[in-house]
Structure 1
């Protein structure tokens, strides 16, 4: 290789590159090596290799460092190529490409530290935890988990994760676990009864999160189990069951009845005496289908609005208010004041806080429109230190709060607030409207993904 060819090689090399002669001294280098070493290129020529890399080895797997002119060192990787014939350089010569791996080693060190902290937390921490394999069996269980289960940790390994669960509570958890390990869910939380050794029944709250491998495929599940009070667990289960019953009624009264009417209409079109009448009934059926689709979209959005996950509480509440105005012609004034970092975009709150606040507003708007005959509604959501204040006021007819007039909706609101250890205040009177104020303790802030 000629000197011109060497110069071109150094210029085109993707990484800082230098050449060592057979005596291990620097014979040539590109300017980037001088920048890394913080020394003039001329001062580096002729310098022994081990004066630059103190380890003095050419093993690509070794943890090497480059010594700078000021005495500091930083980590590098090298790749080596042998040149047998190089003009002006004692052969055989070595071409060395240097790569700064400071960031990569720092990330690796952080991962090692995080892994060690997790290992200590898992093994010695007070929280019951278990790792679940793809087939649903327990791979590892810590001592806290074993104590909660009333068995030795070694006995729990290789057993099905749901084996401790009471048969009446097992179906929902097994279904959610299967969906999570298939990659359909990022995680889930359930309340259930455990049957400990000896037959003792214990209420627990189980949170399971999905762990993915380096390729992003589902690998394991991490289960965190906490002892729950029977009252709180039963309240959550009853609230969930009441919610399911409510949507079953909605589907029956709206969707199923609409489909039944559509079936009758299509059947009559089939028997219509003229083609024109058949066309008219098909057109009417199409209108009914469009209406049914709109109703289903509304039900789906009420069950879990996409805006709540994607854009947060403020956007979903404003969307809810806008739909209320369109559907019922009621004037809804909405004020949302969530604090953002340094005055920026509103931060995301804990998922259970956002969901509870949304459901309170949703239920209050529905009650005001359907039962109270309101013409104006004011919604206010304000973040205060450690609390989220949700206030909904309408000018409707009010109701007798001492009786059962509040119905399921008010009970559902109270249950949601109670489960967050919050406070609920209700003011209502005939012909004076209703005001509901909820104070919800804030959980840990959520990192925004926007």
Structure 2
């Protein structure tokens, strides 16, 4: 015979008083009639036909008065095995120990409900008191029902809800549920971080409150088409104004959730921060335009002077030397631009090899001054000490060339190069007398393709690669570069590198 293994899940009352002693209503004719009716209930069609479960009644002696239902057979029981027997006669002591307090609780007037696992299925059992006309408890009534599928569905729903909640809360991109009027109903941490507002602040606002005014009409137009059923979803690029009044670009994807009847309920939004992507794209456009211009200009110079050399100027040795020098200068400008582009690509691909050697700073600076196109700018190297750095000579040459070129481009005619050493490190300072860097652009100074608004608006062209290359090459050589406003009023770039150990030195 199979028996129930009962584990009470929950009761309506925290404490159950166990009733013992004689039955106070055993001599009451009314109570006796109720008990008799319960004893005959097993023959009732409702008892016998109860689907997916069983119904039973028991008296104050915990004796089954009647039982019925298709569920009895599912657990290895029958009416004949229950009716007229006490729970102690039907079930083993272990099971009785579990169910007796609950049975007596029903006889004491307390209803209970719990789930019972049995042979891979789950059954819910409910016990309740049976009272006579005077309200006295004369027996207990219970029923059990197979709820395996229902409990599995509930568990799946809970797990799905938990999974959705965790996915929503911990998503690396902004997610939100938005009311039809634009009020934020639910937002995740990524959206709060993106906008700079707390969750409570956003929930008290609408998306219209933080949308850039120039982008609001576009967003509202798409929402209107979504509500009208013209489109199922949409994706646009737009701007938000953050809590700190900064403008961020986002890629917004929106879908509308409707009821079963088709009525609009709320919007689901995904928000991806594309500010850096937009900035990089703009910088790449600037670079493309710059390369096209800066390569075209020296190429035109080369072509022009080459044509002159083909003509009558070829007979004048001085003109030949002058034109050749201009052709060489233009070719050098194209080489610098090409070298920077190739170096930036190599750095990005992780293909930069470092071959350090002991390099004298003075020799490296002199070589860079000769290689750079500094025009009429003067270079003061009096404060350059006889120090040596442990660095890749080619990398140091490109770093110094870029810094000197940058100083000549944005300075006002004077560059000062100096050096110091301390604790096994050497520092090279390249200072100009220009206007320096705008404070709000300093955080982006060494980023790839980055150029300030003033630089883009000015006559001086640039790729936005020079300082990026400086930073990456210095870092690759176990050093770092910093920027500060110089005593001359312009920019002061300081490169720090490991000092060279004693040994053979090189200027390049």
Give the TM bin, normalised by the shorter chain: 0.3 to 0.5
> Which protein has the larger Cα radius of gyration, Structure 1 or Structure 2?
2
Higher relative contact order (CA 8 A, sep 6+): 2
Q: What TM-score do the two structures reach when normalised by structure 2?
A: 0.37
Q: What TM-score do the two structures reach when normalised by structure 1?
A: 0.41
